[in-house]
């Protein structure tokens, strides 16, 4: 199985066929409740929902989506083999949450890029929601260069608007 990485979080996944769109979530007293669209190659094939009270993610497939269900089951199995550290958790829910995390981080990075705010990150292998720093000014501005030269800053990547680029 060939693997690729998600652009924003750099999480290894089986392929880029699957994504989340139209995510809406809110915090409850027991967790995060959400609804979103599950897409395959850009086409909506299912709705995913979580009530925010524990339990599993609910996937509501579009009619005549049998081929997508089978492909999704294979993708989740391949995802699970790439992430054995998550073996104790429900595999479909973990896979969906990783796609939601990618959706949210990518949206944050797009907003920063539109404001021409440089985004730097340290060299950890997977970006979590707080694993990067935004700065005022362009990447080659004196303020950003001074920030990078501080010994306590171990940034090695810059978000160019689409992918992480090595500094």
> What is the count of structural domains for the chain?
2
Say yes or no: 76 and 32 in one domain.
yes
Say yes or no: 58 and 17 in one domain.
yes
Q: Which of 107, 135, 153 represents a domain boundary (last residue)?
A: 107
**How many whole angstroms separate alpha carbon 75 and alpha carbon 78?**
5
**How many whole angstroms separate alpha carbon 120 and alpha carbon 139?**
9
Say yes or no: 95 and 137 in one domain.
no
> Phi and psi at residue 69, in whole multiples of 5°?
-60, -45
Whether the Cβ atoms of residue 144 and residue 63 lie closer than 8 Å to each other: no
pTM score of the predicted model: 0.82
Say yes or no: 158 and 86 in one domain.
no
Say yes or no: 96 and 160 in one domain.
no
Say yes or no: 74 and 140 in one domain.
no
- Residue indicated by tokens 């990783």: 98
Model pLDDT for residues 23-77, shown as the tens digit of each residue: 999 998 888 899 999 999 999 999 999 998 888 899 999 877 788 999 999 999 9
Say yes or no: 11 and 63 in one domain.
yes
- Cα distances (Å, whole numbers) of residue 43 to 1, 5, 34: 23, 20, 20
Reported confidence tier of residue 97, pLDDT bands at 50, 70, 90 = very high
Instruction: State the residue range of the domain holding 155.
Output: 116-166
Token representation of residue 133: 């720093």
Say yes or no: 99 and 142 in one domain.
no
Say yes or no: 122 and 102 in one domain.
no
Say yes or no: 44 and 20 in one domain.
yes
Q: Pick the most confident of 54-68, 80-94, 102-116, 142-156.
A: 80-94
Say yes or no: 103 and 120 in one domain.
no
């Amino acid at each position: 199985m060939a693997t690729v990485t998600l652009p924003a979080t750099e999480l290894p996944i089986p392929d880029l066929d699957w994504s989340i769109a139209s995510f809406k979530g809110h915090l409850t007293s027991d967790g995060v409740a959400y609804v979103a669209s599950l897409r395959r190659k850009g086409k909506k094939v299912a709705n995913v929902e979580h009530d925010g009270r524990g339990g599993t993610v609910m996937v509501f497939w579009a009619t005549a989506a049998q081929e997508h269900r089978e492909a999704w089951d294979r993708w989740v199995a391949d995802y699970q083999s790439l992430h054995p550290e998550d073996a104790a958790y429900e595999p479909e829910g973990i896979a969906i949450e990783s796609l939601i995390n990618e959706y949210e981080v990518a949206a944050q990075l797009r907003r920063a890029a539109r404001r021409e705010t440089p985004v730097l990150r340290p060299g950890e292998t997977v970006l979590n929601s707080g694993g990067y720093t935004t700065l005022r000014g362009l990447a080659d501005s004196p303020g950003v260069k001074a920030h990078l030269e501080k010994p306590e800053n171990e940034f090695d990547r810059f978000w160019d608007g689409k992918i992480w680029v090595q500094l």
